[in-house]
Amino acid sequence: MALFTSDRPSDRPIREGEIIHASVVNAINILRDVREMITNTFGGKMKRYEVLMDITLKQALEKLETEARSKGYDGCVAVRISHPRIADGACEIFAYGTGFNYIAADQEQ
C-alpha cells in the first residue's frame, strides 16, 4: 500500500478515486496525564505525550491504508494529517487522502 503526500506518484500514472479518511483517538491514563501537567508547569520534554502522538499517528496511517485497501485502491495520494484537540490527556489524529489505482501500461492513453 502506497501513501503519498504529493498529488501524484512520480513512478507510474494513476486513476484517482474517492476521498479516504481515518480517525484515531487515544487517551493517556490519569497518572501519566498528571505527570505531564507537572512537566508542563516546570518545563521539559513531555515524553509520554510524544509516545501517545507517535502511536496514534501510526494507527491512523495504518487505518488509512486498511480503508483504501478495503475499497480496492492501490494507495492514497495527497495525504494530509490533522490533529484537532479533543480533550486534555487525549489526542486525535485525522488522516485523509484520495484513493488511487495504478493504470496498467497497456491502458495508458
Contact 99, 22 (CB under 8 A): no
Domain count, the chain: 1
What is the C-alpha to C-alpha distance for residues 39 and 72, in angstroms, rounded to an integer?
A: 45
pLDDT digits (tens, 9 = 90+) for 1-50: 899 999 988 888 999 999 999 999 988 766 666 666 666 677 777 677 78
The CATH number given to whatever domain includes residue 20 is: 3.30.110.70
Predicted pLDDT at 13: 92
Taking the CB of residue 4, how many other CB atoms lie within 10 A of it?
A: 17
pLDDT digits (tens, 9 = 90+) for 45-70: 767 778 888 999 999 999 999 999 99
Predicted pLDDT at 92: 92
Q: Which domain holds residue 50?
A: 2-107
Q: Which helix (H) or strand (E) holds 58?
A: helix 47-70
